[in-house]
């Protein structure tokens, strides 16, 4: 259609399309902000909200206390283990020294060393007792540490059970919340889509068409970008069902529109040639002719053939002759390209003799 427009009109139309997209952009920004803020109407709940309000805090506090006790006991155990190692080393060294001394005394057979033997034996026993005491302290701390760990494990197991039960209730509540938010989005975007459809059918050819198309673009964006990604999935069933419903509804509308178009074409083809050409839009007729199709029935016609004065499919006149200079011209042209005479409507072929003045454009 752009080939039939004036140069300035082309740029005006481009500017109006730019206006439509700018208008749509602002509407989409506003819509995105509103849709993004819709979840705030619902209280944002967390998993902790579904835990036992009495048992869960006590278990968490017990686990934290067990962790602190474990760290303290582990530090004490490490100190006691060092003391045990030192006692073992002292006992081992004293025992080795005693055995060497005892071997020397046995070799020398000196009775005057019996008192020293008693003292050394007593000292070795004391070291052995100290080693056993250190070992007992280590074992006691290990037992305490084991008790703390087992208590913590029991608390963690109980907390996991509470958390699992709470998670199920939390997931159910979250799904319900998502459905409510989706319902809010649907209640907002579906009327916009319906209004866009009405504007497309009734208002897209009016003088306010840039705003109409801008709103249509915005409504399509709000529905397919702001709403469709939030459709509940349920394993993909919802997406496929919604796709099937939209396809069926769109297909039925397209089939009905095609049938209405075909009926209008059949009715138009029964009208006289003059009325049919007068009913066609001038720019639309020139656009179709530039594409090599009949302006009346939109079927392909060989317009380069000088014998094709009428469409062989619907019979509409495509070429006639100027009433002044008899030049063969486009039947839809408003002026003769040979002499500039205002065009006349010729009901006959290009070789016809009678011209009827065309209505003022």
C-beta of residue 296 within 8 angstroms of C-beta of residue 311: yes
Torsion of CA 266, 268, 272, 277, to 10 degrees: -140
pTM for this model (two decimals): 0.50
Ranges of residues in the chain with a pLDDT under 70 are: 1-7, 38-39, 41-42, 101-102, 104-114, 117, 229-239, 344-361
Q: Which long-range contacts (CB under 8 A, 24 or more apart) does 221-225 make?
A: 221/24, 221/28, 221/31, 222/28, 222/31, 222/35, 222/188, 222/189, 222/192, 222/193, 223/189, 223/190, 223/192, 223/193
Q: What is the pLDDT of residues 183-238, one digit of tens each?
A: 887 888 888 888 888 888 888 888 888 888 888 888 888 877 777 766 666 656 66
Give the number of other CB atoms < 10 A from CB of residue 312. 12
Q: What is the pLDDT of residues 194-206, one digit of tens each?
A: 888 888 888 888 8
Cα gap 101→241, rounded to integer Å: 97
Q: What is the pLDDT of residues 300-311, one digit of tens each?
A: 888 888 888 888
* C-alpha angle 306-311-315 in degrees, rounded to nearest 5: 130
DSSP 346: -
Look at residue 158 in the predicted model and tell me its pLDDT: 87
C-beta of residue 310 within 8 angstroms of C-beta of residue 349: yes
The distance in angstroms from the start CA to the end CA of the chain is 18
Question: Cβ contacts of residue 62 below 8 Å, gap of 6+?
Answer: 151, 152, 155
* C-alpha angle 296-298-304 in degrees, rounded to nearest 5: 90
Give me the helices (H) in the chain, please: 7-37, 55-108, 114-202, 209-224, 237-269, 273-279, 282-290
Structure tokens at 260: 């209405």
Look at residue 235 in the predicted model and tell me its pLDDT: 58
Cα gap 21→93, rounded to integer Å: 94
Look at residue 88 in the predicted model and tell me its pLDDT: 81
Look at residue 356 in the predicted model and tell me its pLDDT: 42
């Amino acid at each position: 259609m752009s080939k039939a427009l004036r140069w300035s009109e082309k740029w005006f139309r481009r500017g109006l399309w730019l206006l439509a997209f700018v208008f749509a952009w602002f509407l989409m920004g506003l819509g995105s902000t509103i849709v993004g803020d819709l979840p705030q109407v619902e209280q944002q709940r967390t998993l902790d909200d579904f835990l036992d309000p009495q048992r869960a805090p006590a278990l968490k506090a017990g686990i934290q206390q067990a962790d602190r006790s474990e760290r303290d006991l582990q530090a004490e155990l490490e100190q006691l283990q060092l003391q045990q190692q030192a006692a073992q080393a002292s006992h081992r060294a004293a025992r080795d020294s005693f055995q060497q001394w005892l071997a020397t005394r046995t070799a020398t057979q000196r009775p005057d060393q019996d008192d020293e033997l008693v003292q050394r034996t007593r000292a070795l026993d004391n070291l052995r007792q100290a080693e056993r005491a250190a070992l007992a302290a280590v074992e006691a701390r290990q037992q305490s540490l084991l008790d703390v760990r087992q208590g913590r494990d029991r608390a963690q197991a109980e907390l996991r059970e509470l958390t699992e039960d709470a998670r199920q209730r939390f997931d159910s509540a979250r799904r319900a919340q998502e459905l409510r938010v989706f319902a809010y989005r649907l209640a907002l975007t579906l009327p916009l889509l319906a209004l866009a459809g009405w504007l497309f059918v009734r208002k897209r050819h009016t003088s306010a068409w840039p705003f109409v198309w801008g709103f249509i673009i915005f409504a399509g964006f709000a529905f397919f970008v702001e709403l469709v990604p939030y459709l509940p999935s349920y394993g993909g069933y919802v997406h496929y069902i919604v796709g099937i419903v939209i396809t069926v509804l769109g297909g039925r509308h397209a089939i009905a529109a095609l049938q209405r178009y075909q009926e209008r074409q059949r009715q138009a083809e029964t009208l006289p040639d003059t009325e049919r050409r007068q009913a066609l839009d001038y720019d639309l007729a020139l656009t179709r002719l530039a594409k090599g199709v009949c302006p009346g029935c939109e079927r392909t016609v060989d317009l380069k053939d000088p014998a094709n004065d009428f469409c062989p499919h619907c019979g509409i006149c495509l070429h006639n002759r100027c009433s002044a200079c008899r030049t063969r011209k486009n039947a839809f042209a408003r002026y003769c390209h040979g002499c500039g005479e205002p065009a006349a409507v010729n009901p006959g072929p290009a070789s016809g003799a009678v011209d009827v003045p065309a209505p003022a454009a």
